Homo-oligomer: A and B are copies of this chain.
């Protein structure tokens, strides 16, 4: 098996504006990455495009725009999980020896067709994601005594990190009081407990270890991968509202592959489309015991969502997972600038789709 490293990464500035074309925004992230000259376009064996858009032949179009003639070009989608799903596919192509390099580009526009879960008829009229987040939040408060203030602290922490990230949608910090006083959307969630759909793109270059010479000084390895799809319908997963079960299963698989435990993780990107989801992620990933997530936000030892998370950066669906991988790679390379977590060696990416019906975990590490 060929070892796989994250050879480079680039992220565009996430915005509220609609781009003229999704391809413009995807091109931007790809061209920034290529401008670093870690690889030449002729060396790229695969272009995987992650997006929920309905454009046809999109991976080939982006490859042509970037001057790449890859062996493999394909689009991959799986709602919010799309970006990490594409990274996992790229890992397979490289580890198996089919490719030596893969450029994964995730891009989405604010009015993406992935913004409504209209296919899940069991949701009735509750097709917007906030409805499942509301159920999770109410249950967590009822069962474990989690408070609205603790959820607000997730937003405060992630907006603080986002203030140091020039690509984040929200650069302005907020206080617990401001979150608590923000517009009530669906009890107990308020406007500032919720992420915003936005336009953005991110790119990650995976390389086979055989391409390492001279290119990358302190290589960041993909050490663990876990993924689990429990269902498409929320009604199938809410028999136990205390866990997003897919995350737990995926995490166990990834820790096993990486030969790591939750205690080894120094820095993590967690899926925080809603503040409650980050609290549940602490528990599902084993950073803290079940029910203790609300307190972990105050006393936890893992640096979480250093780029600002989805709450701070915004949520361009197909780009989110890719930008999570980019952030952990930046942290482990010591190139996260003002956001740098000192001495971090192992990082984890957690992503999920549609109320936790599916989840992916990727673990990266440096020697």
Contact = CB atoms under 8 A, between A and B. Distances in A.
Interface of A: 1, 47, 52, 54-57, 59-61, 63-64, 69-79, 81-82, 85-86, 88-89, 91-98, 113-114, 117-119, 225-233, 236, 250, 253, 353-354, 357-358
B231 A60 contact: yes
A69 B358 CA distance: 9
A124 B229 CA distance: 43
B71 A228 contact: yes
Nearest to A52: B56
A92 B228 CA distance: 18
A248 B230 CA distance: 41
A232 B78 contact: no
A225 B45 CA distance: 13
A238 to B, nearest CB: 14
A155 to B, nearest CB: 27
A75 B73 contact: no
Nearest to A81: B74
A228 B69 contact: yes
A95 B117 CA distance: 34
Contacts of A69: 228-231
Chain copies in the assembled complex: 2
A119 B89 contact: no
A64 B98 contact: no
Contact of A73 (B52, B225, B358): B358
A60 B353 contact: yes
Nearest to A360: B72
Most chain B CB neighbours (cut-off 10 Å) among A75, A86, A113: A75
Contact of A96 (B1, B119, B226): B1
Nearest to A63: B229
Nearest to A86: B74
Contacts of A88: 72, 93, 98
Contact of A92 (B75, B85, B96, B354): B96
A229 B79 contact: no
A64 B233 contact: yes
Contacts of A73: 78, 229, 358
A203 B82 CA distance: 22
A98 B253 CA distance: 10
B97 A1 contact: yes
B60 A226 contact: no
Contacts of A229: 47, 59-60, 63, 69-73
A97 to B, nearest CB: 6
Contact of A119 (B57, B77, B85, B250): B57
23 contacts: A1-B96, A56-B118, A57-B117, A60-B358, A63-B229, A64-B231, A64-B233, A64-B236, A69-B229, A69-B231, A72-B85, A72-B88, A74-B78, A74-B86, A89-B93, A91-B98, A92-B92, A92-B93, A92-B95, A92-B96, A92-B98, A95-B97, A96-B96
A232 to B, nearest CB: 4
Contact of A76 (B75, B119, B232): B75
B98 A60 contact: no
A71 B69 CA distance: 31
